[in-house]
A and B are shown apart, each in its own frame.
Chain A
Amino acid sequence: MDQQYIINLSFVGASFLLYIGIAIWAKAGSTSDFYVAGGGVHPITNGAAIGADWMSAASFISMAGLIAAGGYSNSTFLMGWTGGYVLLAMLLAPYLRKFGKFTVPEFIGDRFYSQNARLVAVICLIVASVTYVIGQMAGAGVAFSRFLEVDSTMGLMIAAVVVFIYAVMGGMKGITYTQVAQYCVLIVAYTIPAVFISMNLTGNAIPPLGLFSTHVDSGMPVLEKLNQVITDLGFNSYTADVDNKLNMVLFTLSLMIGTAGLPHVIIRFFTVPKVADARWSAGWALVFIALLYLTAPAVASMARLNIMTTIYEDGTDAQPILYENRPDWIKEWEVTGLIEFQDKNNDGRIQLYNDANEDFAPVAKARGWEGNEFTYNNDILVLANPEIAQLPGWVIGLIAAGGLAAALSTAAGLLLAISSAVSHDLIKGRFNPDISDKGELLAARISMGVAIVVATYLGANPPGFAAQVVALAFGIAAASLFPVLMMGIFSKRVNNVGAISGMLAGLIFTLVYIFIYKGWFFIPGTNNLPDTAQHWVAGISPLSIGAVGAIVNFAVAFIVSNATEEPPEEIQKLVESVRYPRGAGTAQDH
């Protein structure tokens, strides 16, 4: 472990030095540098930066485990978190880039000629982004504590200092180039173990192809073998269809429009020189994202099959392995508590099966099993992947650096969205419009510093809502921000009153539905109904309600707008101008 510790430390240390080096090179000299990296980022560079901005600790560490656990039904995350880029490319990014300002609330304020609309947008942005950033900071702390044997609060502090250095100094400019470096680190770290596991199991070096090819040991297709092994142990079939299709559709839709409405993603499109580049960079972003998102489902099924065949080395009909003969990776990860074993029937063997399945209970009883004895956290599928595939120590060091890169790059993007909303929309927009460029740059840096301190504190002491990123951040982005941005571009008729009523209606509808099942403001025990499928209205989960909230937002905005005055002439001209690329220029203040 000592040697491994040194390897991990050198990988993480080297990556941090790289980020700080980039920060010194890419120092922001103006608000344009700080908010939009000077507006001169190449579309492919921006695509890679969006990839890192988008792929969070959750995508890197947790997503494969989620898919492994849910099989087909959790394909929603794969489609939802990629399909949003189609919407961004066609419905939002090019026009918002043409508009050419610094923040998302600024567009809403100008287009709907209302400081109140801008304020509602700022509040939505801050709630969504703060919820999101807490998970990233906590994720960085956890990655530190697991790989570098430091206390997770200490790890969090180190991560915060590094982000502080490059985000406060460089703003969007520093963040852009560190994100590109972080993308490279995270994709290499994710891909290498995946290639090895795919080679071992299928002989195919390309994981997405391996997923649909033959399992070498059994001669069966990987997915068929996996289905056989897990159904023999009472688990649901991996590829089985789901009954509640409505919920699956709405959940996917919520994730898609939520993705498209998240401000930290949208502002990345303000950094390219031209409208055409905004379109291209959406395509490149999805290419870079897909490299991980096409690998994740392969890792998911192969790693799960690996765990099962490790424990049932002679097949599911034979006895599972003895605990004392367990492989080293189980020993190592037991220390972290992510893997737990409890010998319920005292036979010294590891019985891993689905003890919640009543149909399987007689089989388990006949075999003398007294409950599932082996539990593993979903994150194990990625974290322990190199050890399961028996890869050298440097691959483990790479995973450590990759996990941190994923967490820090997303955190930095979110912190920039938060701090620019504070310094540009609140301080300059509301309280001190005459502030000089230099003064605003200072305000932006101070806001960034404060945002980092708050995020670090919340990361170390996560409030209850921090676990609700999917419900809260995606719900708000889907139900309030996406519809109002889209209507601002595609309709000349929607006016100030309509936009504000729509945003509030979508937001309140969505939050109330979530609170009814998850507790008011996520305080445990305050929910009105249990959060289970039979209590959901029409089978719609609170995680899927954002899509319905978006429909409410659209409907209310149209009805209210049509009942009130149409927007003034100059606003209709503004809408015209965002639709035509000519004369974009770089993003600017005036």
Chain B
Amino acid sequence: MSDHSYDAENYWKANLRLIFGSLIIWALVSYGFAILLRPMLESIAVGGTDLGFWFAQQGSILTFIALIFFYAWRMNKIDEQFGVHEE
């Protein structure tokens, strides 16, 4: 039983690590590149404007999609690895 709870704890930690990493990227592309860091990216031109504008209107959305699919794929693997996946 203690083995099981040890595993369960590590499973949850693995999930939290994955969420934490994903949310850093989530925040970086939207609040970072698209808003706060936009002035720093001004020199990188994209189609008549700058990279920050691209992130605000396209890049962040595309990144969000990639993040969710990565999380789902990775988490489903972790479920299996720890034996907590659904039959």
Interface of A toward B, CB cutoff 8 Å:
67, 72, 75, 78-79, 82-83, 85-86, 89-91, 94, 208, 211-213, 220-225, 227, 239, 241, 245, 248-249, 252-253, 274-276, 279-280, 282-283, 286-287, 290, 293-294, 297, 576, 579-584
Query: Chain B residues near A294 (CB, 8 Å)?
Result: 58, 61-62
A227-B48 Cα distance, complex, nearest whole Å? 9
**Quick one: closest A residue to B60, CB to CB?**
A79
Q: List 13 A-B contacts (CB under 8 A).
A: A83-B60, A86-B23, A86-B68, A90-B68, A212-B49, A249-B31, A274-B86, A279-B68, A279-B75, A280-B72, A579-B8, A579-B15, A580-B8
Given A223-B49, A282-B68, do A86 and B22 touch, yes or no (CB 8 Å)?
Answer: yes
Q: Is the CB of B35 within 8 A of A249?
A: yes
Interface residues of B in 1-59 (CB under 8 A from A): 8, 11-12, 15, 19, 22-23, 26, 30-31, 34-36, 38-39, 46-50, 52-54, 56-58
Do A224 and B31 have beta carbons less than 8 Å apart?
no
Task: Tell me the nearest residue of chain B to A220, going by C-beta.
Answer: B48
A residues in contact with B87, CB < 8 Å: 582
Which residues of B pack against A, CB within 8 Å? 8, 11-12, 15, 19, 22-23, 26, 30-31, 34-36, 38-39, 46-50, 52-54, 56-58, 60-62, 64-65, 67-69, 71-72, 75-76, 79, 83-87
Q: How far is the CA of A211 from the CA of B26 in the complex (A)?
A: 23
With the chains together, A347 CA to B22 CA distance in Å? 59
Indicate if the CB atoms of B35 and A581 lie closer than 8 Å: no
Q: Is the CB of A579 within 8 A of B26?
A: no
Nearest-neighbour CB distance to chain A for B18, whole angstroms, equals: 8
> B47, A82: Cβ atoms under 8 Å?
no
Q: Which residues of B contact A249 (CB under 8 A)?
A: 31, 35-36
List, in ascending order, chain A residues with CB within 8 A of B15's CB: 579
B71 near A90 (CB under 8 angstroms)? yes
The distance from the CB of B23 to the nearest CB of chain A, in whole angstroms, is 7
Residues on A with beta carbons closer than 8 Å to the beta carbon of B46: 212
CB distance from A441 to the nearest CB of B (A): 28
What is the bound-complex CA distance between A227 and B15, given in angstroms? 45
Bound together, the chains give a CA A287 to CA B84 distance in angstroms of 28
A212 touches which one: B48, B56, B76, B83 (CB < 8 A)? B48
Q: Say whether A582 contacts B85, CB under 8 Å.
A: yes
Closest to A289 in B: B61
Determine which of A86, A252, A283 lies in contact with B35 in the assembled complex, contact meaning CB atoms within 8 Å: A252
| A44 CB, nearest partner CB in chain B, Å | 12
How far is the CB of A415 from the nearest CB of chain B, in Å? 27
Q: Are B61 and A293 in contact (CB under 8 A)?
A: yes
The distance from the CB of B42 to the nearest CB of chain A, in whole angstroms, is 8
Q: Do A83 and B47 form a contact, CB below 8 Å, given A241-B38, A252-B35, A294-B58?
A: no
Which of A86, A279, A582 lies in contact with B84, CB distance below 8 A? A582
Q: How far is the CA of A111 from the CA of B4 in the complex (A)?
A: 23
> What CA separation (Å) do A212 and B51 show in the bound complex?
11
Closest residue of chain A to B32 (Cβ to Cβ) is A249
Contact (A279, B64) CB under 8 Å given A212-B46, A580-B8: no
Asked if residues A276 and B68 are in contact (CB atoms below 8 Å), the reply is no
The answer to whether B84 and A252 touch across the interface, beta carbons within 8 angstroms, is no
Residues of chain B within 8 A (CB-CB) of A252 are 30-31, 35
Q: CB < 8 Å: which of B36, B62, B72 contacts A279? A: B72
**Residues of A close to B39: CB separation below 8 A:** 241
Residues of A within 8 A of B31 (CB): 249, 252-253
A72 CA / B53 CA spacing, docked (Å): 7
Q: Which of A213, A287, A579, A583 is in CB contact (< 8 Å) with B86?
A: A583
Which of B11, B50, B57, B86 sits near A297, CB closer than 8 Å? B57
Cβ contact within 8 Å between B86 and A283: no
B34–A581 touching, CB < 8 Å? no
| Contact A83-B62, Cβ < 8 Å, known A279-B76, A580-B84, A582-B86 | no
Cβ contacts under 8 Å, B19 to chain A: 90-91
Question: Which one of A94, A279, A290, A584 has the highest number of Cβ atoms from chain B below 10 Å of its Cβ?
Answer: A279
| Cα-based distance from A279 to B79 in the complex (angstroms) | 12
Residues of A within 8 A of B71 (CB): 89-90, 279
Partner of B72, one of A245, A248, A276, A582: A276
Specify which of A72, A279, A280, A293 is in contact with B56 (CB 8 Å cutoff). A72
Residue of chain A at shortest CB distance from B31: A249
Contacts of A225 in B (CB 8 A): 48
Q: Are B86 and A584 in contact (CB under 8 A)?
A: yes
Query: How far, in angstroms, from A579 to B84 measured CA to CA in the complex?
Result: 10
Q: Which residues of B contact A75 (CB under 8 A)?
A: 34, 53, 56-57
Q: Is A82 a contact of B64 with CB atoms below 8 Å?
A: yes
Q: Knowing A75-B34, A213-B47, A239-B49 are in contact, say whether A83-B76 is a contact too (CB < 8 A).
A: no
Q: By the criterion CB–CB under 8 Å, are B47 and A89 in contact? A: no
**Complex: how many Å from CA A239 to CA B52?**
10
| Cα-based distance from A579 to B8 in the complex (angstroms) | 9
**Which of B19, B36, B53, B57 has most A Cβ within 10 Å?**
B57
Q: Which of A82, A90, A282, A293 has the most CB atoms of chain B within a 10 A radius of its CB?
A: A90
